[in-house]
């Protein structure tokens, strides 16, 4: 199976998956030992999800791409139902003030919003192909409900981070596929005040913005996370304190194995290690854009571009928060943060990216056939 896949892209994905397992253990073993009496508590669960993620990656890379074009949008629908289920009393699990999880067997939890965030590209690509074939064939009222209702539910959980990423990806894709400048400007003119109201009207979000502007104004409360994160980076220096030797994870740095795991990495393997990990992320992003530019198939181009933008935004926002460049937001770092839902969903969509890359050499013939049938994709 692996011989048909792009070695550099696959290697980068598997490298980050492996680094993530090491990082989860290193950043969580103290907390796991104190909280659960088992230093391997989080690592064992992440390892189980990594096995599922690896299967999802290979399956998505090998599944017939025509099946994805025909049925891929149903992943968004299933994720939407999952997000709805979290708000049903008795099904949703509240953690840290948000109801985003569903209980699974063996003490595991699943976060449907992670799948929703990463599957939006599948929905957009399906809509794009359908609308260009025949506008009359698109059931617009159903489409609006299916697209917007889950976003409202995300705010209800609340999960503002996933909501923001989906909106930003939607705007980027609309612009990339021909949305005129005047509509982009109008959308931004509407979105920016709306985002301001959504942030500043909620006390804990407003507090995060104020802490971002001046974390030292309240170093023991609102600014505590970002200050401890910056101290961890500072302690790491160029070469790091050594794997497993970081001090920030010793209950100084909150969410050390999830949202702020990048600070633990920066402290333990230093600036050089940090740059290496960022280079792997950068390679996946650059390769994703290259695949989107090379493919002539409209669905595959939209899907590749959407997956890449979503991945890039997730890395950018998490890294920006951890380094104090953005207000604190509960978004995990792809592959490195603890979280099975994110790992499996991310592996699934990156498997689709591998699948699209695998078919690049077959596209000239397909493109000629499309032109002959009058359905030539947009250049």
* DSSP string over 185-198: HHHHHHHHHHHHHH
**How many structural domains is the chain composed of?**
1
How far is residue 66's CA from residue 77's CA, in Å, rounded to a whole number? 19
CB 261 within 8 A of CB 19: no
Residue 94 backbone phi and psi in degrees, to 5: -90, 125
Going residue by residue through the chain, which has 379 residues, state the pLDDT in tens, using 9 for 90 and above.
Answer: 555 565 799 999 999 999 999 999 999 999 999 989 999 999 999 999 999 999 999 999 999 999 999 999 999 999 999 999 998 888 888 877 788 888 877 677 889 999 999 999 999 999 888 776 554 555 667 778 888 899 999 988 888 889 999 999 998 998 888 877 787 788 778 878 888 888 888 888 888 888 888 888 888 888 888 899 999 999 999 999 999 898 888 888 888 999 999 999 999 999 999 999 999 999 999 999 999 999 999 999 999 999 999 999 999 999 999 999 998 877 899 999 999 999 999 999 999 999 999 888 766 544 444 443 333 344 3
Question: Which of 332, 302, 326, 327 minimizes the C-alpha distance to 314?
Answer: 332
Predicted local confidence at residue 379, as pLDDT: 38
Q: Report if residue 378 sits inside a domain.
A: no
How far is residue 353's CA from residue 189's CA, in Å, rounded to a whole number? 33
How much is the pTM? 0.90
Q: Report if residue 327 sits inside a domain.
A: yes
Q: Report if residue 379 sits inside a domain.
A: no
Question: Which of 86, 101, 165, 117 minimizes the C-alpha distance to 348?
Answer: 117
How far is residue 13's CA from residue 7's CA, in Å, rounded to a whole number? 10
The strands making up 98-103's β-sheet, listed across from edge to edge, are 92-95, 98-103, 109-110
CB 49 within 8 A of CB 340: yes
Structural domain range at position 348: 2-373
Q: Report if residue 116 sits inside a domain.
A: yes
Q: Report if residue 88 sits inside a domain.
A: yes
Return the CA Rg of the chain: 21
């Amino acid at each position: 199976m692996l011989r048909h896949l792009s070695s550099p892209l696959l290697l980068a994905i598997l490298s980050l998956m492996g680094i993530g397992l090491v990082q989860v253990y290193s950043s969580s073993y103290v907390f796991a030992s104190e909280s659960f009496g088992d230093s391997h508590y989080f690592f064992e669960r992440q390892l189980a999800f990594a096995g599922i993620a690896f299967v999802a990656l290979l399956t998505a890379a090998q599944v017939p791409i025509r099946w994805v074009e025909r049925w891929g949008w149903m992943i968004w629908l299933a994720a939407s139902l999952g997000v709805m289920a979290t708000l049903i009393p008795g099904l949703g699990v509240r953690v840290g003030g948000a109801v985003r999880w569903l209980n699974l067997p063996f003490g595991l939890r699943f976060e449907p919003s992670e799948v929703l965030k990463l599957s939006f590209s599948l929905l957009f690509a399906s809509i794009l192909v359908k609308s260009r074939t025949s506008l009359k064939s698109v059931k617009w009222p159903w489409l609006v409900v299916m697209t917007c209702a889950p976003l409202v539910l995300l705010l209800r959980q609340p999960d503002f981070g996933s909501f923001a990423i989906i909106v930003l990806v939607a705007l980027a894709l609309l612009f990339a596929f021909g949305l005129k400048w005047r509509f982009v400007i109008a959308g931004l003119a509407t979105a920016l005040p709306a985002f301001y109201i959504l942030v500043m009207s909620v006390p804990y979000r407003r507090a995060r913005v104020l802490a971002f502007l001046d974390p030292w104004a309240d170093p023991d409360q609102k600014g505590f996370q970002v200050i401890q994160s910056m101290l961890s980076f500072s302690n790491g220096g160029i070469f790091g304190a050594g794997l497993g030797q970081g001090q920030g994870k010793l209950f100084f740095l909150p969410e050390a194995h999830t949202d702020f795991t990048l600070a633990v990495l920066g402290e333990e393997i230093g600036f050089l290690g940090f740059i290496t990990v960022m280079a792997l992320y950068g390679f996946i992003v650059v390769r994703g854009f290259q695949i989107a530019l090379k493919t002539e198939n409209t669905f595959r181009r939209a899907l590749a571009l959407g997956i890449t933008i979503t991945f890039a935004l997730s890395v950018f926002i998490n890294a920006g928060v951890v380094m104090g460049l953005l207000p604190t937001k509960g978004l995990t770092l792809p592959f490195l943060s603890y979280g099975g839902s994110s790992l499996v969903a991310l592996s699934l969509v990156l498997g689709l990216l591998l699948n699209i890359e695998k078919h690049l050499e077959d596209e000239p013939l397909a493109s000629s056939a499309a032109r002959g049938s009058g359905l030539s994709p947009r250049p």
